């Protein structure tokens, strides 16, 4: 095959699978919200099951559910006969995947589920299948054909099942009012989790803070700001409370404005008397939001009485 033919094949495959997902939209009916309601009110776990490629898709759906606030895990029905049935209780809900809805290994597992009075939600491409008939709720995931040129290898059908599983997970997130902070709790090791769980106190600079009195002349203040390597200087009152802040940008603008008279002015002449401050427990995500909203590169960390505790700059937030 030529490169052009290979690219045409890839484009055709992507088009076929994309269309298969779009074709799911008119298939949606009242069974979808019923499934979401059943999963939302589940007092136990969502037990996802399937065989072969459906099992692979099921494992991913279980992982997505678990990471977005719905306790779930995957069971291979073949393992049920070797002790795994013990993890299932009547408080659980089973989510079973099978394109044909006639998978023998899965159907042999279903009577055990029914005997334990565990509700069943099924995702199949055949609403008349045995699995669909055994289920309390059936969601149709039917594709016209596979992207495979032989119409044999599970391609469009697995993509459609995966997309429907994501649709269930996203609907549950909305029902639960799942927030970014909730996501972070389930992903503490990821970048988002770190930003949403890490606080200003965790990353703030505590030592050698560039503290300057408000009566200091700007010529001397330049030296302190430079030595501090934060691009700023903080003015405190006698009790250590924040009075104001100057930045290297403030100094540059003052030099341009006053020119030769610059050295006759003091910190109090140019300092911002209401600098942006945060409490130690403020999350880094919120600190970044404040910096972006006000186009600043640092915030002061203070206690409830505005005593200076530290400084967080843009680089400290890049965790």
Verify that 65 and 108 share a domain, yes or no: yes
Question: Which single residue is written with the structure tokens 């945060």?
Answer: 278
| Mean pLDDT of the 38-51 span | 94
Give me the pLDDT at residue 306, please: 95
Greatest distance between any 2 Cα atoms in the chain: 91
How far apart CA 159 and CA 72 sit, in angstroms, is: 20
Looking at the fold, whether 207 and 274 belong to one and the same domain comes out as: yes
Whether the Cβ atoms of residue 154 and residue 58 lie closer than 8 Å to each other = no
pLDDT at 131: 96
Place of tokens 């590169």: 297
- pLDDT for 279 equals 97
Which CATH number do you get for residue 278?
3.10.580.10
| Distance in angstroms (rounded) separating the CA atoms of residues 274 and 119 | 59
Contact status, residue 141 vs residue 2, Cβ threshold 8 Å: no
pLDDT band at 89 (very low <50, low <70, confident <90, very high): confident
Do residues 192 and 183 make contact, with C-beta atoms less than 8 angstroms apart?
Answer: yes
The answer as to whether 186 is a domain residue is: no
Domain co-membership, 53 together with 142:
yes
Indicate the SS3 state at residue 48: strand
Mean pLDDT within 120-134: 96
Residue 195: predicted pLDDT: 64
Residue 281 lies in a domain: yes
Q: What is the pLDDT of residues 162-215, one digit of tens each?
A: 999 999 999 999 998 877 666 665 655 555 566 667 899 999 999 999 999 999
Residue 188 lies in a domain: no
Do residues 226 and 165 both lie within one domain? no
* 142: pLDDT strictly greater than 60: yes
Backbone φ, ψ for residue 113 (5° rounding): -65, -45
Residue ending a domain, among 148, 178, 208, is: 178
Q: Are residues 174 and 83 in the same domain?
A: yes
Q: How far apart are the C-alpha atoms of 147 and 14, rounded to whole Å?
A: 8
CA distance 297 to 193: 22
- Res. 140: pLDDT tops 60: yes
Of 14, 25, 34, which Cα lies nearest the Cα of 175? 34
| Same domain (yes/no): 169, 219 | no
Are 18 and 148 found together in one domain? Answer: yes
Portion of the chain with pLDDT greater than 70, in percent = 92
Domain shared by 77 and 149, yes or no = yes
pLDDT of 187 = 53
Within a domain: 259: yes
Tell me if 192 is assigned to some domain: no
Q: Which 8-state DSSP code applies to residue 307?
A: B
**Mean pLDDT, rounded, of the chain:** 90
- Do 207 and 117 lie in one domain? The reply is no
Within 10 A of 261 (CB to CB), how many other CB atoms are there? 10
Question: Which pLDDT belongs to residue 193?
Answer: 62
> Are residue 40 and residue 171 in the same domain, yes or no?
yes
- Average pLDDT of the segment spanning 85-91: 80
Tell me: do 174 and 204 sit in the same domain.
no
| Residue 99 and residue 214 in one domain | no
User: Is 3 inside a domain boundary?
Assistant: no
Residue 263: strand, helix, or coil: helix
Look at residue 316 in the predicted model and tell me its pLDDT: 84
Give percent above pLDDT 90 in the chain. Answer: 75
Q: What is the mean pLDDT of residues 265-269?
A: 96
Question: Based on the structure, what is the number of domains in the chain?
Answer: 2
Contacting residues for 91 by C-beta, under 8 A, at least 6 apart = 42, 43, 44, 45
**Tell me: the pLDDT tens digits for 284-311?**
889 999 999 999 999 999 999 999 999 9
Domain that holds residue 206: 200-317
């Amino acid at each position: 095959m030529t490169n052009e033919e290979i690219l045409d094949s890839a484009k055709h495959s992507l088009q076929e699978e994309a269309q298969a997902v779009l074709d799911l939209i008119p298939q949606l009916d009242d069974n979808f919200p019923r499934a979401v309601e059943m999963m939302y009110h589940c007092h136990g776990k969502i037990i996802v099951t399937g065989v072969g490629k459906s099992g692979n898709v099921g494992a991913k759906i279980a992982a997505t559910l678990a990471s977005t606030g719905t306790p779930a895990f995957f069971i291979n029905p073949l393992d049920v006969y070797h002790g795994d049935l013990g993890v299932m209780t009547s408080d659980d809900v089973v989510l079973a995947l099978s394109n044909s809805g006639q998978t023998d290994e899965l159907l042999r597992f279903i009577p055990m589920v029914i005997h334990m009075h565990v509700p069943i939600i099924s995702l199949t491409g055949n609403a008349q299948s045995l699995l669909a008939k055994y289920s309390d709720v059936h969601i149709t995931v039917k594709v016209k054909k596979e992207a495979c040129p032989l119409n044999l290898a599970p391609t469009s059908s697995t993509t459609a099942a995966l997309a429907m599983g994501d649709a269930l997970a996203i609907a549950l997130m909305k029902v639960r009012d799942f927030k970014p902070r909730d996501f972070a709790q389930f992903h503490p090791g990821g970048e988002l989790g770190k930003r949403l769980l890490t606080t200003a106190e965790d990353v703030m600079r505590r030592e050698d803070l560039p503290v300057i009195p408000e009566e200091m002349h700007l010529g001397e203040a330049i030296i302190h700001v430079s030595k501090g390597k934060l691009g700023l200087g903080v003015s405190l009152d006698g009790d250590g409370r924040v009075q104001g802040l100057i930045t290297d940008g403030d100094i540059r603008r003052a030099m341009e404005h006053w020119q030769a008279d610059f050295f006759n002015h003091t910190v109090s002449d140019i300092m911002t008397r209401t600098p942006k401050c945060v409490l130690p427990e403020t999350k880094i995500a919120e600190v970044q939001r404040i910096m972006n909203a006000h186009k600043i590169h640092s915030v002061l960390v203070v206690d409830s009485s505005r005593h200076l505790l530290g400084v967080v700059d843009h680089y400290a937030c890049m965790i």
